């Protein structure tokens, strides 16, 4: 692909991602297919797009030192500068002079002489003088927010809950790449066989300590392996695998997954049930039900019945005491998965967290009667925020006194993980900086036998 076309595609992608927040991975996939981007350019395109988004606030801080803030700048020009600065400062794949040359070329073709001299001026200035130091920023919170490109409200919030050091580690971890992990389909292949086969294909792999089905891929693109393409394994973050493990599903059980799409955890549960029993899986969005069916069929699992439903109303669909296990993997702010989807950190507001907590509690309250006595209910989110995690569990327990936290949950956590977890009386918080996983919260509740 011609360099100009590739860089121009990246600018268009970045502009669209900024408008259609939350769908970066879909937009990138679409653009790669539409433009027949070669595998070599695909890696560079993905790296520049995610990197530029991930470092947006830092890049704007640098850029603002070199431009007249009063002058209005067209969005594509700002994007061109951002992505060029990202490459100059954070990547060493292309020499600075080539980055500047390409940027000026794009500015000439897309704009006019005035724009190309502005772009040339800013980038040459950075090349000659470097970028301004963030040590000039007096306020600790603001400095951390700018250095790690997180919104100030979020940094303040995390410091308030977790302290400065943990917040700093978390924000820094959100800038780093994390290894992909996969889960084997154990009814089709063992972990040992899968690891040997992947090594033969040139992958570098390690077993996960979170699940006996988990493998960490340190090197290689798993999508290209036949093991992935033919459903011998599926991509899943290690932290999510803990849910399937800790729910303790057994063959023959009847299980409810209230918020199921795209089907990562429900297929894990079906595998652990050896594809024997019944799973009712729901999601609010009809379109997403197809994703659950697709994943189940790829993995050759047949016990999942997926249907659209609002989980807040499931008490109207099922009779009380129906299920042996219930999973509520709730819709959440996703602040634990910033590393993989960096646009999340700019698209959320503090008020969203409060709204989500209301929905999460409503879902839990709706499914609570549906669990059999002595059954187990898992509540999980891929976020790092007490309002959506511990506080929701606390309120739920207050409103449903038949439920208690299963204290055995804490005993089951592998010893090597315990020290780095945020353990409270309401559940377990995984931080993204601790184990190369997403940030994740989970807890297991038991419904006690009613005294009456």
Ligand X SMILES: C[S@@+](CC[C@H](N)C(=O)[O-])C[C@H]1O[C@@H](n2cnc3c(N)ncnc32)[C@H](O)[C@@H]1O
Q: Which residues are annotated as a binding site for S-adenosyl-L-methionine?
A: 259-265, 283, 310, 329
Q: Which of residues 343-382 bind ligand X (CB under 6 A)?
A: 359, 382
Please give the backbone phi and psi of residue 218, each rounded to the nearest 5 degrees, phi first.
-80, -30
- 271 forms part of the interface with ligand X (CB under 6 A): no
- The size of the interface with ligand X (CB under 6 A), counted in residues, is 20
Exactly one of 246, 261, 269, 384 binds ligand X (CB under 6 A); which one?
261
Does residue 332 carry a catalytic annotation?
no
Catalytic residue, chosen from 382, 384, 428, 445, is: 382
* Residue entry with tokens 């994007």: 79
Task: Tell me whether residue 51 or residue 336 sits nearer to ligand X (CB atom).
Answer: 336
Query: What is the DSSP track for 196-216?
Result: HHHHHTT-EEEE-SS-TTEEE
Write each residue from 286 to 315 as x if it is in contact with ligand X (CB under 6 A), else as -, in one continuous string.
Answer: --x---------------------xxx---
Stretch binding ligand X (CB under 6 A), from 165-173, 277-285, 315-323, 389-397:
277-285
Distant-in-sequence, close-in-space partners of 158: CB < 8 Å, separation ≥ 6: 166, 167, 170, 171, 384
3-state secondary structure of 371: strand
Looking at 168, 282, 376, 447, which residue binds ligand X (CB under 6 A)? 282
Binding flag, residue 331, ligand X (CB under 6 A): yes
For residues 146 and 57, the answer to whether their CB atoms sit within 8 Å is: yes
**Closer of 45 and 261 to ligand X (Cβ):** 261
Q: Which of 48, 123, 146, 259 binds ligand X (CB under 6 A)?
A: 259
By the rule CB under 6 A, 263 interacts with ligand X: yes
Query: Cα dihedral sign for 227, 231, 235, 239?
Result: negative
**167 or 333: CB nearest ligand X:** 333
C-beta closer to ligand X: residue 110 or 288? 288
What is the C-alpha to C-alpha distance for residues 389 and 370, in angstroms, rounded to an integer? 22
285 binds ligand X (CB under 6 A): yes
> What DSSP string runs through 309-350?
--GGGGGGTS-TT-EEEEEEE-----TT-TTT-TTHHHH--H
Residue 265 binding ligand X, by CB under 6 A = yes
Q: Helix, strand or coil for residue 14?
A: helix
Exposure pattern of 45-68 as b/e (b: 16+ CB <10 Å)?
bbbbbbbbbbbbbbbebbbeebbe
**Segment interacting with ligand X (CB under 6 A) among 43-51, 98-106, 259-267, 296-304:** 259-267
Is 260 a binder of ligand X (CB under 6 A)? yes
Taking each helix axis from N to C end, the angle separating 286-298 and 264-272, rounded to the nearest 10 degrees, works out to 40
Question: Binding of ligand X at residue 63 (CB under 6 A)?
Answer: no
237 belongs to the binding site for ligand X (CB under 6 A):
no
Please tell me the distance from the alpha carbon of residue 310 to that of residue 313, in angstroms, as a whole number: 6
- Which residue positions form the known binding site? 259-265, 283, 310, 329
Q: Does 211 bind ligand X (CB under 6 A)?
A: no
Nearer to ligand X, 194 or 328 (CB): 328
Cα–Cα–Cα angle for 241, 311, 444, nearest 5°? 40
User: According to CB under 6 A, which one of 102, 147, 245, 283 is a site residue for ligand X?
Assistant: 283
Q: What is the smallest separation between the CB atom of 295 and ligand X, expressed in angstroms?
A: 8
What phi and psi values does residue 377 have, to the nearest 5 degrees?
Answer: -120, 125
Minimum CB distance to ligand X smaller for 137 or for 284: 284
CB of 335 to ligand X, least distance (A): 12
Closest approach of ligand X to the CB of residue 451, in Å: 31
Please state, in angstroms and rounded to a whole number, the distance separating the CA atoms of residues 360 and 354: 10
Is residue 22 at the binding interface for ligand X, with CB under 6 A as the rule? no
Angle at 68 between CA 64 and CA 70, to 5 degrees: 110
Residues near ligand X (CB under 6 A) are 240, 259-265, 282-285, 288, 310-312, 329, 331, 359, 382
Catalytic residues: 382
């Amino acid at each position: 692909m011609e360099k100009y076309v590739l860089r121009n595609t990246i600018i268009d992608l970045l502009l669209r991602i900024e408008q259609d927040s939350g769908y970066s991975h879909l937009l990138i996939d679409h653009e790669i297919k539409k433009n027949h981007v070669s595998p070599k350019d695909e890696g560079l395109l993905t790296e520049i797009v995610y990197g530029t988004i991930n470092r947006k606030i830092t890049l704007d801080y640098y850029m603002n030192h070199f431009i007249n803030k009063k002058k209005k700048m067209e969005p594509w020009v700002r994007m061109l500068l951002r992505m060029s600065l990202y490459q100059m400062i954070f990547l060493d794949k292309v020499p600075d002079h080539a980055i500047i040359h390409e940027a000026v070329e794009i500015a000439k073709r897309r704009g006019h002489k005035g724009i190309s001299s502005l772009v040339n001026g800013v980038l040459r200035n950075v090349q000659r003088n470097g970028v301004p130091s963030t040590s000039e920023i007096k306020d600790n919170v603001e400095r951390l927010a700018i250095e790690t490109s997180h919104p100030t409200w979020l940094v303040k919030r995390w410091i308030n809950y977790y302290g400065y050091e943990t917040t700093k580690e978390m924000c820094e971890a959100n800038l780093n790449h994390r290894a992909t992990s996969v889960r084997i389909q154990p009814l089709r292949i063992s972990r040992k066989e899968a690891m040997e086969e992947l090594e033969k294909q040139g992958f570098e792999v390690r077993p996960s300590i979170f699940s006996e089905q988990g493998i960490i891929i340190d090197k290689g693109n798993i999508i290209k392996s036949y093991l992935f393409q033919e459903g011998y394994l599926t991509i899943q973050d290690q932290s999510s695998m803990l849910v399937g493990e800790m729910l303790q599903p057994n063959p023959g059980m009847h299980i409810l997954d209230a918020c199921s799409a795209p089907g990562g955890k429900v297929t894990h549960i079906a595998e652990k049930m050896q594809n024997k029993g019944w799973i009712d899986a729901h999601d609010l969005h009809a379109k997403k039900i197809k994703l659950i069916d697709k994943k189940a069929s790829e993995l050759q699992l047949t016990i999942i019945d997926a249907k659209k439903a609002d989980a807040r109303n499931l008490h109207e669909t099922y009779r009380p005491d129906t299920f042996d296990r219930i999973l509520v993997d709730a819709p959440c702010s996703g602040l634990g998965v910033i590393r993989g989807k960096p646009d999340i950190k700019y698209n959320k507001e503090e008020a969203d967290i409060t709204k989500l907590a209301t929905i999460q509690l409503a879902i839990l309250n709706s499914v609570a009667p549906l669990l059999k006595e002595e059954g187990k209910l898992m509540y999980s989110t891929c976020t790092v925020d007490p309002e959506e995690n511990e506080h929701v569990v606390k309120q739920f327990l207050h409103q449903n006194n038949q439920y208690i936290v299963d204290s055995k949950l804490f005993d089951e956590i592998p010893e090597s993980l315990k020290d780095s977890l945020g353990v409270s009386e309401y559940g377990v918080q995984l931080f993204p900086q601790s184990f190369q996983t997403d940030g994740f919260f989970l807890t297991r509740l038991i419904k006690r036998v009613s005294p009456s």
